[in-house]
Chains A and B, each alone.
Chain A
Amino acid sequence: GDSVTQMEGPVTLSEEAFLTINCTYTATGYPSLFWYVQYPGEGLQLLLKATKADDKGSNKGFEATYRKETTSFHLEKGSVQVSDSAVYFCALRGDNAGNMLTFGGGTRLMVKP
């Protein structure tokens, strides 16, 4: 079945550092890919998405490119802020799986001033 693998956290960075959180997936066909973020005490919020190969999703300075050849959807940000401290979840929705989302394990990001 479908699966998503993320790098384990926590990831601890200083403010203005470059961020990469790796995400790879296994799925048949052409899934849609998502990054969700969970700030402390809040629910899951969609951060960005990409629905076909080579699409780049972007939002709030974060970017991720749908790479079918490497089955990856790595999250990047050029300069992180303390306010980016949260848990980040990579997820996919298979093209024949209805609306069910398959999540990775989540990566906690801690940004220090």
Chain B
Amino acid sequence: DIQMTQSPSSLSASVGDRVTIACRASRDIRTHLNWYQQKSGKAPELLVYAASSLQGGVPSRFSGSGSGTDFFLTISDLQPEDFAIYYCQQSDITPRTFGPGTRVDIK
């Protein structure tokens, strides 16, 4: 199985900040990497697919980058509704695997 790791596991930030979350795969997954946002008590929602393609309806302050084994999700100008847990997921092979998540809290 491909192991996914994320850093940091949590971070505190203020409204207006720029934050970056890192995700690493245990082997080359090309650009087969997706990012999801999960708010408390809700189902996950797709933010970014194929490492850098923004899902329709997702604000442009979200962006994804990377390829191979190292990927990043950046949120510029953090908004109150962005405080949530963010998960990366590889779609290169089954079983599909998720990172452990990064919690973004209000400072």
User: Does chain A bind chain B?
Assistant: no
